[in-house]
Amino acid sequence: MLSEFQIADLILNGFNKHFSLFQQITHKAHYAFSQANWQSVHQANSDRICFYDKRVNETILSLKKSIPDQLDKSLWLKVRATFQNYLQFHPQAELAESFYNSVFCRLFHRRYFNNDFIFVETTIKENIPVPIESEYQSYFPVIEGLKPTIKNIIEQFDFKAPFIDLSRDIKLLVNAFLKQSPDTHHRAYQMRFDILKQAFYRNKAAYIIGRVVSKSGIQPFIIPILHHKDNGLYLDALLTDSTQMRVIFGFARAYFMVDTSAPSALVQFLNQLMPNKTPAELYSAIGFHKQGKTQFYRELHSHLKNANDKFIPAPGTRGMVMMVFTLPSFPYVFKVIRDKFGEGKPFGRKTVLQRYQLVKQHDRVGRMADTIEYSNVALPIDTFCPELLQELKETVGSSLEFENDLVIIKHLYIERRMTPLNLYLQKNTDENILSVMDEYGKALKDMISVNIFPGDMLLKNFGVTDHNRVIFYDYDEVQYLTDMNFRKLPKSTGYNDYLLEDVSVSVAPQDVFPEQLTTFVTTNNKVRSALEKFHPELTDVQFWKKAQYNINQGYFTNIYPYPEKQRFMLLW
């Protein structure tokens, strides 16, 4: 029988191993970027997502060899207290708490999931915090001048690859800052730069993130750095607009890869730059999606304590695979897999789970919403409106349990709430319809460029964000683009075979007829015309086959998460 110290040691060692391995694979992004090895960047980002569960399972296997199956309350109260003591000066204390919770919750029944036995509420506020200054370095232009200081900042990242013309880029950077931030024009001796020590890597870009501090206040900024084929590196843009920065850290993008020994300090710094982002969103954005889940769960229950509204069915067309509901005062939707799927869905629950996991591990290129996946979520029964509760019992009854005053949902996906595209189109002007259908076409093109075929391209499966971006959010028919067979519609040669023109023409499940796209997604002529105006190639089978060819040849499209007009390359 292990003591409380031995159990706490074993769990902490499991976490420390996890974090070490997580950082090792994260660090690979630095080298992969220097070599322009984009496949390696994608693979490393995908691999990291599974690391957490592997380490938790390893720890559980070790514990099961030496502890009884039944919870010893006295022992585990001591284990939690001991573990909490271990975290007083631990630089990743909040992540270690979540790791402890994961281990405990997979070992014992949920009736023990309270703050006596796990960290329902974090205790790190009781610790001496990791100083935020540990994650950034300050630079003072008064010493060497503005442009030499900027040059020193960029060179300290040691990207292991030469710049094409760094002096030119610095001039463009300074001019862009003067243009974008007219209220912060100061001389070199009137400002300082606070720069995060590590670059952020994602897809084919590295990002330098920091702020200018002056008497006018604080101006956050992001500088993307790209490769120009075999010629070298270049600064691609300067982003100072808060909306653009939030989009870069948005919920529809792959997680950043960034080295950090103190995630809480890094998140605190980022939160100062983007105060509208929640800690849950920021932890997820920098790759700690399990911690993002923990933070989100706390935010949800904190909100429920003060909310006056109730969960209701989510606005929009009912899905054939998912039952979706929402809390109007909370900007998310909750999705549960139905017990029975509608006609036209020739697959089962296992396939749905696999396809949602596929998207989780894929590059979402700003066009596919991130999902937060939970098991055994307990929600107060009085927070559900009666009509929703009845519908849940009828449609997802096998996923529900009722315990006293709680509804237990065995498996749940949570996504950011958006306005369904079909509803958006019903309520907007002609100008907005043109703009959003252009966005819809761009969303399709962005997804297929990274080997994602959405399957069901109906407008109800896409949402419009507060920034008027179109995002895909229904993944039950997602497949790899390279697995599809794109075909031209057979043409009739006479009256007797006129039926070949019918939309039912198909040969195999993977067959796709792009010519039917505009007819299939909408019956509204105005909406259809807008799509055909901006993206006529989407109905051309050769366009889709060319996309497949590019992917098979290993060509990775650069999807810029900021406006094209702000790119410095346009000024070369």
Binding site for ATP: which residues?
A: 314-320, 335
Determine contact, residues 287/256, Cβ cutoff 8 Å.
Answer: yes
Which DSSP string corresponds to 300-337?
HHHHHHH--S-BEEPSSPPPSSEEEEE-TTSSEEEEEE
Round to whole Å and give the CA distance between 72 and 76: 6
Are the CB atoms for 321 and 336 separated by under 8 Å? Answer: no
Alpha carbon distance 322, 266 (integer Å): 36
Would you list which residues are annotated within the binding site?
Answer: 314-320, 335
Token representation of residue 414: 């949570």
Q: Which H or E run includes 391?
A: helix 386-395
- Cα–Cα nearest to 459, from 248, 569, 316, 350: 316
* Helical axes 73-86 vs 93-107, angle rounded to 10°: 160
Q: Is 283 exposed, middle or buried (0-12, 13-18, 19+ CB in 10 A)?
A: buried
Q: Which of 169, 370, 446, 474 is catalytic?
A: 370
| Helix pair 166-180, 146-155: axis angle to 10 deg | 120
- Phi, psi of 249, deg, nearest 5: -95, 25
**Catalytic-residue membership of 466:** no
What distance in Å separates the CA atoms of residue 194 and residue 210, rounded to the nearest whole number? 5
Q: Please work out, in degrees rounded to the nearest 5, the angle formed at the alpha carbon of residue 72 by the alpha carbons of 71 and 74.
A: 140
Instruction: Identify whether the C-beta of residue 78 lies closer than 8 Å to the C-beta of residue 71.
Output: no
Q: Could you list the active site residues?
A: 370
